[in-house]
Chains A and B, each alone.
Chain A
Amino acid sequence: MQINFGSRSVSCKIVYYGPGLSGKTTNIQKIHEQMPSPRKGELTSIKTEGDRTLFFDFMSLDLGKIGGMETRFQIYTVPGQVYYNATRKLVLQGADGIVFVADSGPECMAANVESWRNLKDNLAERGLEITDLPVVIQWNKRDLAGAISTDEMNATINDIDAPTFEAVATEGPGVLETLKSVCGIVCRQLNERQAKMASASKASPPAPVAPAATPASAETMRFVSRRRSTTQTTQKKKGTSTVGPTHAQAPVPPKTHPRTPVRPVHATRKRSRSWWSKMFVALGIIAAVLGIAAALYGIGLW
């Protein structure tokens, strides 16, 4: 989520999750179809030749100005196939709300359960419980013959008492209702989160401003040393550890972010005076050799 008081905008991320072929992409396609043109962005799909989502589908939904803020929802779908779990984790990053699209097909209960468990596992890897985020469940493909009853699906999957909606994404029913529900919950929680933080800040007076844990030059050094790796560099050398400083400098205490874990950083290496003197000596020797070679060449001995 991003609240930008400069551009007066609020942007929230909604992720459609679920087993393969449950209808996540169909949902976003239907949403895109039904939105009025000025308010919707292009639908971007990164998919295989077989039309299976490879990375994600994405569209932006612009609700216009609400409370003086341009309000946007970025809607993503994840690839549902088991093989693409690593990609699902990437897309799930920063989600503000989740729609779990379950397949009501008669043989699909196991896949639904597996995907629900996978969602919880992927959230747990980020330190989140499934109850930490707004989650809405959609029982899709209600038009299938032999569709599993919603009571059975609810009892088996919905262990968090999330709001549920029946849908037939290919035709449209239930699609917009599901989206409305998750967007509404996300925005209501925004207000609650703000109110909580405001009251917490009023309850305890702000601590006196302490000097930054990492002085600016150390920040710059840490940034520069981390940027040694680019797409063109090779792998780390054998035997070198990437943990802790590589030079005898006092380790710089890292600045902590609430969401991102603290990572060890490399310390930059200062060149000592003896190193420079050795370099000059080496350059001198090379120059001398070249000079001798040139001289020999000049007198015809080489």
Chain B
Amino acid sequence: MSSDADLKNARMVYYESDMAELETVLKRLLDLSRAKRALLIDIEGHMVATCGDGGDQTDLENISALVAGTFAATKETAKLLGEEEFSVLFHQGETDSIQLTLVDDRLLLGIIFDDATTIGMVRLYASETAKKVMDVLGREHSGSETSTMLDDDFGESVETELDNFFGE
């Protein structure tokens, strides 16, 4: 198996073609479910893809980190209860709510919605969307991307930028 496929399977790297498809899948989810925003979140807390209204980049990153932490905690709770995991979490607020669905071992689908839709609609389309996401990410990497490597001097560039950043 090629190294690109290894990186894709390990969910360390997301390729442009896959990302475009994932964004299309999320957009369709929002259109059908009438939810406000959809997020694909890595279980380590990185936001993979997002679509919809509301929340700036910083808020969404914070939400991703918190959601991943919450899911990790409930997974351990599930094990103590004799379950393999809890694959769905739902937090209900006064105006906005969030539904979290486990897509596979490494991804979560978060859907933020208000009273424009119902939890049933969201769950229905969440499960379909999760399958589509798995299809996209489960496909063999085509290797047709124009750029799948970081620059050779990326590490050095980061160190230089860190020096500038911290005012040295």
Q: Which chain B residues lie closer than 8 Å to A195 at the CB level? A: 152
Interface residues of A in 147-206 (CB under 8 A from B): 176, 180, 183-184, 187-192, 194-195, 197-198, 200-201, 206
Q: Is the beta-carbon distance between A180 and B150 smaller than 8 angstroms? A: no
Q: Is the beta-carbon distance between B154 and A229 smaller than 8 angstroms? A: no
Q: Does A207 contact B (CB under 8 A)?
A: yes
CB nearest to B102 among chain A residues = A227
Q: Does B32 contact A (CB under 8 A)?
A: no
Interface magnitude class on chain B: 35 or more
Decide yes or no: A71 and B86 within 8 Å by CB, A206-B1, A257-B9 being known contacts. Answer: no
Chain B CB count within 10 A is highest, among A63, A90, A190, A207, for A90
CA distance A220 to B130 in the complex (A): 10
Q: Does B124 contact A (CB under 8 A)?
A: no
Q: Is the beta-carbon distance between B155 and A191 smaller than 8 angstroms? A: yes
Interface readout for B65-84 with A: 1 if CB under 8 Å, 0 if not?
11001001110101001111
Comparing A18-26, A37-45, A102-110, A270-278, the segment that makes contact with chain B is A37-45
Q: Does B117 contact A (CB under 8 A)?
A: no
Interface readout for A7-48 with B: 1 if CB under 8 Å, 0 if not?
100110100000000000000000000100001011010100
Q: Does B15 contact A (CB under 8 A)?
A: yes
Decide yes or no: A44 and B1 within 8 Å by CB, A93-B72, A188-B159, A229-B87 being known contacts. Answer: no
Q: Does B48 contact A (CB under 8 A)?
A: yes
Q: Which residue in A7, A63, A216 is a CB contact (below 8 Å) of B161? A: A63
Q: Which chain B residues lie closer than 8 Å to A209 at the CB level? A: 140
Q: Is the beta-carbon distance between A74 and B65 smaller than 8 angstroms? A: yes
Decide yes or no: A184 and B155 within 8 Å by CB, A44-B62, A60-B62, A64-B161 being known contacts. Answer: yes
CB distance from B162 to the nearest CB of A (A): 5
Q: Does A219 contact B (CB under 8 A)?
A: yes
Q: Is the beta-carbon distance between B16 and A41 smaller than 8 angstroms? A: no
Q: Does B144 contact A (CB under 8 A)?
A: no
CA distance A260 to B74 in the complex (A): 18
Q: Is the beta-carbon distance between A227 and B82 smaller than 8 angstroms? A: no
CA distance A219 to B131 in the complex (A): 9
Q: Which chain B residues lie closer than 8 Å to A72 at the CB level? A: 61
Q: Is the beta-carbon distance between B84 and A226 smaller than 8 angstroms? A: yes
Q: Is the beta-carbon distance between A6 and B19 smaller than 8 angstroms? A: yes
Q: Is the beta-carbon distance between B45 and A74 smaller than 8 angstroms? A: yes
Decide yes or no: A229 and B83 within 8 Å by CB, A10-B150, A191-B152 being known contacts. Answer: yes
Chain B CB count within 10 A is highest, among A6, A69, A90, A93, for A6
CA distance A56 to B45 in the complex (A): 12
Interface readout for A62-78 with B: 1 if CB under 8 Å, 0 if not?
01101111011010100
Decide yes or no: A56 and B7 within 8 Å by CB, A93-B43, A207-B1 being known contacts. Answer: no
Interface readout for B136-156 with A: 1 if CB under 8 Å, 0 if not?
001010000101111111111
Interface residues of B in 45-72 (CB under 8 A from A): 45-46, 48-49, 58-59, 61-62, 65-66, 69, 72
Q: Is the beta-carbon distance between B46 and A236 smaller than 8 angstroms? A: no
When A and B form their complex, which 4 residue pairs have the shortest distance between CB atoms, in order from nearest?
A: A6-B19, A94-B44, A188-B155, A197-B3
